[in-house]
């Protein structure tokens, strides 16, 4: 019914790991029931227990306002960074 993936990135700015939440998916018929909230709280709990984690973070599409609203209810805030990419040629 739902899943998410966590990958790790060392931050030399923060001298610790960020846990990147990726591949978030909740089947449409199960959305708006708090399932992502439960998954996110588990990630927070595990990150806090680790001791070397700066915190969880994730990417969200600029126009995915429903997801952004969900993340804001969990006290996540936009960082102000933009992501740039270039295709491999």
For 18-44, the pLDDT digits (tens) are 999 999 999 999 999 999 999 999 999
User: CATH number of the domain that 16 lies in?
Assistant: 3.40.630.30
In a domain, 79, yes or no: no
pTM of the model: 0.86
- Give the count of domains, the chain: 1
Does the residue 8 lie in any domain?
A: yes
Strands (E), 27-68: 53-58
Does 78 map to a domain?
Answer: no
What whole-number distance in Å separates Cα of residue 62 and Cα of residue 67? 10
What is the DSSP secondary structure assignment for residue 60, as one 8-state letter? -
Asked if residue 85 belongs to a domain, the reply is: no
- Round to whole Å and give the CA distance between 56 and 47: 7
The band of 76, judged by pLDDT with boundaries at 50, 70 and 90, is: very high
Residue 89 belongs to some domain of the structure = no
- Residues written for the chain: 89
Show the domain range for 35: 2-73
């Amino acid at each position: 019914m739902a899943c998410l993936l966590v990958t790790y990135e060392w931050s030399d700015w923060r001298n610790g790991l960020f846990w990147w939440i990726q591949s978030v998916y909740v089947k449409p018929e199960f959305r708006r029931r708090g399932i992502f909230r439960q998954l996110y709280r588990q990630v927070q709990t595990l990150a806090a227990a680790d001791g070397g984690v700066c915190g969880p973070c994730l990417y969200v599409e600029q126009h995915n306002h429903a997801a952004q609203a969900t993340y804001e209810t969990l006290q996540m805030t936009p960082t102000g960074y933009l992501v740039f990419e270039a295709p491999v040629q």
